[in-house]
């Protein structure tokens, strides 16, 4: 398996539009959304995988789905 890629996160303490929300809270929401989407991709790969197939097939499908997500977030990112 290749190196783990991380998504850089900027932590800010400024308030947004006077609503009293902190930017860090908004970043947590974005991170939670990204995690949920990644888990959905893994769940989809798992549901497509058949028990009689090699586990590498599941891993390849999962990697492909996660790469599609990465390309959608950061086009051209490899």
Could you tell me if residue 14 is inside a domain? no
Could you tell me if residue 40 is inside a domain? yes
- Separation of alpha carbons 38 and 35, rounded Å: 5
> What does the pLDDT read at residue 47?
95
Could you tell me if residue 62 is inside a domain? yes
Residue numbers in the chain where pLDDT is lower than 50: 1-16
pTM over 0.75: no
Could you tell me if residue 4 is inside a domain? no
Could you tell me if residue 32 is inside a domain? yes
**Number of domains observed in the structure of the chain:** 1
Could you tell me if residue 15 is inside a domain? no
Q: What is the DSSP letter of 15?
A: B
Query: Tokens 């490899």, residue?
Result: 78
Could you tell me if residue 5 is inside a domain? no
Q: For residue 61, how many C-alpha atoms fall within 13 Å in the half-sphere facing its CB?
A: 17
Range of the domain at 40: 23-73
> What does the pLDDT read at residue 13?
40
Could you tell me if residue 51 is inside a domain? yes
């Amino acid at each position: 398996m290749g190196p783990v890629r991380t998504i850089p996160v900027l932590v800010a303490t400024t308030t947004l539009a006077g609503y009293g929300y902190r930017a860090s809270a908004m970043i947590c929401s974005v991170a939670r959304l990204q995690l949920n989407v990644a888990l959905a991709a893994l769940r989809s790969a798992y549901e497509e995988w058949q028990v009689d197939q090699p586990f590498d097939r599941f891993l390849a499908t999962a990697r492909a789905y996660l790469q599609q997500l990465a390309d959608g977030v950061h086009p051209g990112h490899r």
